[in-house]
Homo-oligomer: A and B are copies of this chain.
Protein backbone atom coordinates (compact mmCIF):
# COMPACT_ATOMS: atom_id res chain seq x y z
CA UNK A 1 0.00 0.00 0.00
CA UNK A 2 2.80 2.38 0.91
CA UNK A 3 4.63 1.75 -2.37
CA UNK A 4 1.50 2.14 -4.39
CA UNK A 5 0.67 5.41 -2.70
CA UNK A 6 4.21 6.67 -3.23
CA UNK A 7 3.90 6.00 -6.91
CA UNK A 8 0.64 7.89 -6.86
CA UNK A 9 2.41 10.86 -5.33
CA UNK A 10 5.00 10.84 -8.03
CA UNK A 11 2.41 11.03 -10.77
CA UNK A 12 0.77 14.12 -9.42
CA UNK A 13 3.80 16.05 -8.26
CA UNK A 14 3.66 18.35 -11.23
CA UNK A 15 0.21 19.67 -10.36
CA UNK A 16 1.01 20.15 -6.70
CA UNK A 17 -1.41 17.48 -5.65
CA UNK A 18 -0.20 14.73 -3.39
CA UNK A 19 -1.64 11.55 -2.05
CA UNK A 20 -1.40 9.92 1.30
CA UNK A 21 -0.56 6.43 2.35
CA UNK A 22 -3.84 4.62 2.56
CA UNK A 23 -4.98 4.53 6.13
CA UNK A 24 -8.38 5.10 7.59
CA UNK A 25 -8.20 8.85 7.04
CA UNK A 26 -11.46 10.40 8.14
CA UNK A 27 -12.78 13.92 7.96
CA UNK A 28 -14.33 15.32 11.10
CA UNK A 29 -18.13 15.03 11.09
CA UNK A 30 -20.01 18.30 10.71
CA UNK A 31 -21.99 17.49 13.83
CA UNK A 32 -21.04 15.81 17.07
CA UNK A 33 -23.07 12.86 18.29
CA UNK A 34 -25.24 13.41 21.35
CA UNK A 35 -26.48 10.85 23.87
CA UNK A 36 -30.11 9.77 23.70
CA UNK A 37 -30.90 11.43 27.02
CA UNK A 38 -29.43 14.78 26.03
CA UNK A 39 -30.15 15.68 22.43
CA UNK A 40 -28.50 18.93 21.38
CA UNK A 41 -31.01 21.76 21.09
CA UNK A 42 -30.45 25.46 20.43
CA UNK A 43 -31.97 26.29 23.81
CA UNK A 44 -29.54 24.05 25.69
CA UNK A 45 -26.63 25.35 23.67
CA UNK A 46 -27.50 28.95 24.45
CA UNK A 47 -27.86 28.24 28.16
CA UNK A 48 -24.75 26.08 28.17
CA UNK A 49 -22.65 28.82 26.60
CA UNK A 50 -23.74 31.24 29.31
CA UNK A 51 -22.97 28.82 32.13
CA UNK A 52 -19.65 27.94 30.50
CA UNK A 53 -18.56 31.57 30.38
CA UNK A 54 -19.95 32.63 33.76
CA UNK A 55 -17.24 32.94 36.45
CA UNK A 56 -19.69 33.43 39.31
CA UNK A 57 -19.96 29.70 40.02
CA UNK A 58 -16.41 29.51 41.35
CA UNK A 59 -15.63 30.26 44.98
CA UNK A 60 -13.79 33.46 44.07
CA UNK A 61 -16.08 34.46 41.22
CA UNK A 62 -13.06 34.55 38.93
CA UNK A 63 -12.91 31.13 37.29
CA UNK A 64 -15.31 29.89 34.63
CA UNK A 65 -15.04 26.79 32.46
CA UNK A 66 -13.65 29.16 29.87
CA UNK A 67 -10.80 30.30 32.12
CA UNK A 68 -8.90 27.05 31.58
CA UNK A 69 -10.68 25.87 28.42
CA UNK A 70 -10.69 29.14 26.53
CA UNK A 71 -12.83 29.00 23.40
CA UNK A 72 -11.22 32.19 22.14
CA UNK A 73 -7.92 30.29 22.11
CA UNK A 74 -7.25 26.64 21.34
CA UNK A 75 -9.80 25.50 23.89
CA UNK A 76 -7.32 25.64 26.75
CA UNK A 77 -4.97 28.17 28.33
CA UNK A 78 -1.52 27.68 26.80
CA UNK A 79 -0.16 27.16 30.32
CA UNK A 80 1.83 24.11 31.48
CA UNK A 81 -0.76 23.47 34.18
CA UNK A 82 -3.90 25.46 34.74
CA UNK A 83 -4.51 28.04 37.41
CA UNK A 84 -7.70 27.90 39.42
CA UNK A 85 -9.09 29.91 42.33
CA UNK A 86 -6.59 31.86 44.46
CA UNK A 87 -3.89 31.14 41.88
CA UNK A 88 -3.78 27.45 42.75
CA UNK A 89 -2.20 25.01 40.34
CA UNK A 90 -2.23 21.25 40.00
CA UNK A 91 -0.16 18.77 38.07
CA UNK A 92 -1.98 18.51 34.78
CA UNK A 93 -2.42 20.61 31.67
CA UNK A 94 -5.95 21.51 30.56
CA UNK A 95 -7.16 19.37 27.68
CA UNK A 96 -8.80 21.32 24.87
CA UNK A 97 -12.56 21.64 24.84
CA UNK A 98 -12.57 21.81 21.05
CA UNK A 99 -13.79 18.46 19.70
CA UNK A 100 -13.95 17.00 23.20
CA UNK A 101 -17.36 15.81 22.02
CA UNK A 102 -15.48 13.16 20.06
CA UNK A 103 -13.54 11.81 23.06
CA UNK A 104 -14.52 8.35 24.26
CA UNK A 105 -13.84 9.48 27.83
CA UNK A 106 -13.03 12.80 29.51
CA UNK A 107 -10.15 14.14 31.63
CA UNK A 108 -6.58 12.96 31.06
CA UNK A 109 -7.31 9.87 33.12
CA UNK A 110 -10.73 9.20 31.63
CA UNK A 111 -12.44 9.49 34.99
CA UNK A 112 -15.58 10.88 33.38
CA UNK A 113 -17.36 8.87 30.74
CA UNK A 114 -19.31 11.75 29.29
CA UNK A 115 -19.18 15.50 28.83
CA UNK A 116 -22.12 15.71 31.21
CA UNK A 117 -20.09 14.01 33.95
CA UNK A 118 -16.99 15.99 33.15
CA UNK A 119 -18.76 19.31 33.52
CA UNK A 120 -19.41 18.66 37.19
CA UNK A 121 -15.80 17.93 38.13
CA UNK A 122 -13.94 21.25 38.03
CA UNK A 123 -16.73 23.11 39.85
CA UNK A 124 -15.99 21.30 43.11
CA UNK A 125 -12.27 20.72 42.59
CA UNK A 126 -10.54 22.80 45.30
CA UNK A 127 -7.76 23.91 42.94
CA UNK A 128 -10.09 24.67 40.03
CA UNK A 129 -13.40 26.38 40.74
CA UNK A 130 -13.32 25.61 44.44
CA UNK A 131 -16.99 25.29 45.33
CA UNK A 132 -17.65 23.03 48.31
CA UNK A 133 -20.41 21.11 46.61
CA UNK A 134 -22.38 21.11 43.38
CA UNK A 135 -25.58 22.20 45.07
CA UNK A 136 -23.75 25.26 46.42
CA UNK A 137 -22.85 26.21 42.86
CA UNK A 138 -26.37 25.45 41.72
CA UNK A 139 -27.75 27.64 44.51
CA UNK A 140 -25.85 30.50 42.91
CA UNK A 141 -27.33 29.70 39.51
CA UNK A 142 -30.81 29.55 41.05
CA UNK A 143 -30.12 32.87 42.77
CA UNK A 144 -29.76 34.63 39.41
CA UNK A 145 -33.33 35.34 38.29
CA UNK A 146 -32.43 35.71 34.63
CA UNK A 147 -31.26 32.12 34.29
CA UNK A 148 -34.68 30.63 34.99
CA UNK A 149 -36.24 31.40 31.60
CA UNK A 150 -33.24 29.82 29.86
CA UNK A 151 -33.53 26.65 31.95
CA UNK A 152 -37.28 26.53 31.30
CA UNK A 153 -36.78 26.96 27.57
CA UNK A 154 -34.22 24.18 27.55
CA UNK A 155 -35.71 21.73 30.04
CA UNK A 156 -39.33 22.65 30.62
CA UNK A 157 -40.99 24.24 33.61
CA UNK A 158 -40.98 21.27 36.01
CA UNK A 159 -38.00 21.93 38.30
CA UNK A 160 -35.55 22.65 35.50
CA UNK A 161 -32.79 24.28 37.58
CA UNK A 162 -30.89 21.19 38.65
CA UNK A 163 -27.23 20.26 38.62
CA UNK A 164 -27.90 17.55 36.05
CA UNK A 165 -29.62 19.96 33.72
CA UNK A 166 -26.86 22.54 34.08
CA UNK A 167 -24.34 19.83 33.17
CA UNK A 168 -26.48 18.76 30.23
CA UNK A 169 -26.61 22.33 28.95
CA UNK A 170 -22.85 22.75 29.21
CA UNK A 171 -22.32 19.42 27.45
CA UNK A 172 -24.77 20.38 24.70
CA UNK A 173 -22.83 23.61 24.17
CA UNK A 174 -19.55 21.71 24.09
CA UNK A 175 -20.94 19.47 21.37
CA UNK A 176 -21.12 22.55 19.17
CA UNK A 177 -17.43 23.26 19.81
CA UNK A 178 -16.13 21.23 16.92
CA UNK A 179 -13.78 22.28 14.17
CA UNK A 180 -14.34 20.60 10.84
CA UNK A 181 -13.06 22.29 7.72
CA UNK A 182 -9.31 21.96 8.31
CA UNK A 183 -7.01 21.61 5.34
CA UNK A 184 -6.73 17.95 6.31
CA UNK A 185 -10.51 17.56 6.15
CA UNK A 186 -10.69 19.23 2.78
CA UNK A 187 -7.91 16.98 1.55
CA UNK A 188 -9.62 13.84 2.81
CA UNK A 189 -12.86 15.03 1.27
CA UNK A 190 -11.21 15.14 -2.12
CA UNK A 191 -9.51 18.50 -2.48
CA UNK A 192 -6.04 17.20 -3.24
CA UNK A 193 -4.60 20.70 -3.33
CA UNK A 194 -5.61 21.43 0.23
CA UNK A 195 -2.34 20.05 1.56
CA UNK A 196 1.24 20.69 0.43
CA UNK A 197 3.71 18.05 -0.55
CA UNK A 198 5.41 18.30 2.82
CA UNK A 199 2.13 18.01 4.66
CA UNK A 200 1.21 14.87 2.74
CA UNK A 201 4.69 13.49 3.40
CA UNK A 202 4.12 14.14 7.09
CA UNK A 203 0.76 12.39 6.88
CA UNK A 204 2.43 9.38 5.33
CA UNK A 205 5.13 9.39 7.99
CA UNK A 206 2.40 9.63 10.63
CA UNK A 207 0.88 6.44 9.24
CA UNK A 208 4.08 4.54 8.50
CA UNK A 209 5.73 5.25 11.85
CA UNK A 210 2.71 3.87 13.66
CA UNK A 211 1.25 7.02 15.22
CA UNK A 212 -2.11 5.91 13.86
CA UNK A 213 -2.10 2.89 16.13
CA UNK A 214 -3.41 5.16 18.88
CA UNK A 215 -4.19 8.43 17.12
CA UNK A 216 -6.76 6.97 14.76
CA UNK A 217 -10.21 8.09 13.72
CA UNK A 218 -11.59 11.43 12.69
CA UNK A 219 -10.37 13.16 15.83
CA UNK A 220 -7.07 11.26 16.00
CA UNK A 221 -7.97 10.06 19.48
CA UNK A 222 -8.66 6.42 18.85
CA UNK A 223 -11.51 4.25 17.68
CA UNK A 224 -15.15 4.67 18.59
CA UNK A 225 -15.79 2.89 21.87
CA UNK A 226 -18.90 1.56 23.50
CA UNK A 227 -20.43 4.02 25.97
CA UNK A 228 -18.47 4.24 29.19
CA UNK A 229 -15.28 2.65 27.92
CA UNK A 230 -12.53 5.07 27.05
CA UNK A 231 -9.57 4.48 24.80
CA UNK A 232 -6.35 4.52 26.81
CA UNK A 233 -2.68 3.98 26.07
CA UNK A 234 0.38 3.57 28.22
CA UNK A 235 2.63 6.60 28.35
CA UNK A 236 5.59 6.38 28.50
CA UNK A 237 5.91 3.03 26.74
CA UNK A 238 9.68 3.12 26.26
CA UNK A 239 11.33 4.45 29.38
CA UNK A 240 14.99 3.92 28.55
CA UNK A 241 15.58 7.39 27.16
CA UNK A 242 16.41 10.85 28.45
CA UNK A 243 13.03 12.36 27.71
CA UNK A 244 11.20 10.40 30.38
CA UNK A 245 13.33 11.85 33.14
CA UNK A 246 13.80 15.27 31.58
CA UNK A 247 10.06 15.83 31.32
CA UNK A 248 9.08 13.89 34.43
CA UNK A 249 6.68 11.58 32.62
CA UNK A 250 6.40 8.95 35.35
CA UNK A 251 5.64 10.68 38.64
CA UNK A 252 1.96 11.04 37.73
CA UNK A 253 0.51 7.55 37.64
CA UNK A 254 -2.35 8.50 35.36
CA UNK A 255 -5.44 6.35 35.33
CA UNK A 256 -4.26 4.16 38.20
CA UNK A 257 -5.03 6.97 40.60
CA UNK A 258 -8.67 6.64 39.54
CA UNK A 259 -9.11 2.87 39.30
CA UNK A 260 -6.45 1.81 41.87
CA UNK A 261 -5.77 -0.98 39.40
CA UNK A 262 -2.02 -1.52 38.90
CA UNK A 263 -2.65 -2.33 35.26
CA UNK A 264 -3.74 1.28 34.78
CA UNK A 265 -0.42 2.72 35.92
CA UNK A 266 0.68 5.35 33.38
CA UNK A 267 -2.40 4.73 31.26
CA UNK A 268 -3.83 7.91 29.77
CA UNK A 269 -6.70 8.87 27.55
CA UNK A 270 -5.39 9.19 24.00
CA UNK A 271 -5.89 12.90 23.37
CA UNK A 272 -7.20 14.33 20.13
CA UNK A 273 -4.62 15.82 17.79
CA UNK A 274 -7.17 18.18 16.30
CA UNK A 275 -5.88 21.77 16.72
CA UNK A 276 -2.76 20.38 18.37
CA UNK A 277 -0.81 23.35 17.00
CA UNK A 278 -2.84 25.63 19.30
CA UNK A 279 -2.47 23.76 22.57
CA UNK A 280 1.19 24.14 23.56
CA UNK A 281 2.73 23.31 25.94
CA UNK A 282 2.23 19.58 25.59
CA UNK A 283 1.55 16.32 27.44
CA UNK A 284 -0.43 15.65 30.60
CA UNK A 285 1.96 17.75 32.65
CA UNK A 286 2.51 20.48 30.07
CA UNK A 287 6.24 19.92 30.31
CA UNK A 288 7.14 20.07 26.62
CA UNK A 289 7.13 23.56 25.19
CA UNK A 290 6.94 23.06 21.44
CA UNK A 291 5.14 20.85 18.97
CA UNK A 292 8.46 20.12 17.36
CA UNK A 293 9.83 18.65 20.56
CA UNK A 294 6.53 16.92 21.34
CA UNK A 295 6.76 15.04 18.05
CA UNK A 296 10.32 13.89 18.76
CA UNK A 297 9.34 12.88 22.27
CA UNK A 298 6.33 10.88 21.14
CA UNK A 299 8.33 9.01 18.50
CA UNK A 300 10.99 8.07 21.02
CA UNK A 301 8.87 7.42 24.07
CA UNK A 302 6.02 5.60 22.37
CA UNK A 303 7.62 4.07 19.28
CA UNK A 304 11.31 4.00 20.21
CA UNK A 305 12.11 5.89 17.03
CA UNK A 306 14.71 8.62 16.64
CA UNK A 307 13.29 11.00 14.08
CA UNK A 308 15.41 12.90 11.60
CA UNK A 309 14.97 16.65 11.45
CA UNK A 310 13.22 16.20 8.12
CA UNK A 311 10.80 13.64 9.51
CA UNK A 312 10.06 15.89 12.47
CA UNK A 313 9.43 18.87 10.20
CA UNK A 314 7.14 16.81 7.99
CA UNK A 315 5.14 15.52 10.94
CA UNK A 316 4.79 19.01 12.38
CA UNK A 317 3.69 20.29 8.97
CA UNK A 318 1.02 17.60 8.92
CA UNK A 319 -0.15 18.29 12.47
CA UNK A 320 -0.47 21.97 11.59
CA UNK A 321 -3.18 21.18 9.03
CA UNK A 322 -5.34 19.63 11.74
CA UNK A 323 -6.26 23.15 12.83
CA UNK A 324 -9.89 23.53 11.88
CA UNK A 325 -12.42 26.27 11.42
CA UNK A 326 -13.86 27.71 14.58
CA UNK A 327 -17.56 28.51 14.70
CA UNK A 328 -18.35 32.17 15.16
CA UNK A 329 -19.91 32.77 18.53
CA UNK A 330 -21.87 35.58 20.07
CA UNK A 331 -20.73 36.81 23.43
CA UNK A 332 -23.64 36.43 25.84
CA UNK A 333 -24.71 39.08 28.31
CA UNK A 334 -24.92 37.07 31.50
CA UNK A 335 -28.06 37.48 33.61
CA UNK A 336 -27.49 39.91 36.48
CA UNK A 337 -28.41 39.99 40.14
CA UNK A 338 -29.60 43.60 40.27
CA UNK A 339 -28.45 45.49 43.32
CA UNK A 340 -26.43 42.67 44.87
CA UNK A 341 -23.68 40.18 44.13
CA UNK A 342 -23.70 36.41 44.53
CA UNK A 343 -19.91 36.37 44.83
CA UNK A 344 -18.74 36.80 48.40
Asked if A341 is an interface residue, CB under 8 A from chain B, the answer is: yes
A62 to chain B, nearest CB (A): 5
Q: Are B329 and A78 in contact (CB under 8 A)?
A: no
A60 to chain B, nearest CB (A): 6
Query: In the complex, what distance in Å separates the CA atom of A336 from the CA atom of B72?
Result: 10
A164 to chain B, nearest CB (A): 25
Q: Are B78 and A292 in contact (CB under 8 A)?
A: no
- A74: chain B residues at CB < 8 Å are 336
Report A220-261 residues with CB < 8 Å from chain B CB.
none
A278 to chain B, nearest CB (A): 5
Flag A69-96 by CB within 8 Å of B: 1 or 0 each.
Answer: 0111110011100010111100000000
Asked if A181 is an interface residue, CB under 8 A from chain B, the answer is: no
**In-complex Cβ contact of A330 among B55, B289, B330 (8 A):** B330
Q: Are B73 and A336 in contact (CB under 8 A)?
A: yes
19 inter-chain pairs at a CB distance below 8 angstroms, sorted by A residue, are A53-B72, A61-B78, A71-B331, A72-B331, A72-B332, A74-B336, A78-B341, A85-B87, A87-B87, A87-B88, A277-B336, A280-B341, A291-B339, A291-B340, A316-B339, A323-B336, A326-B333, A328-B331, A330-B330
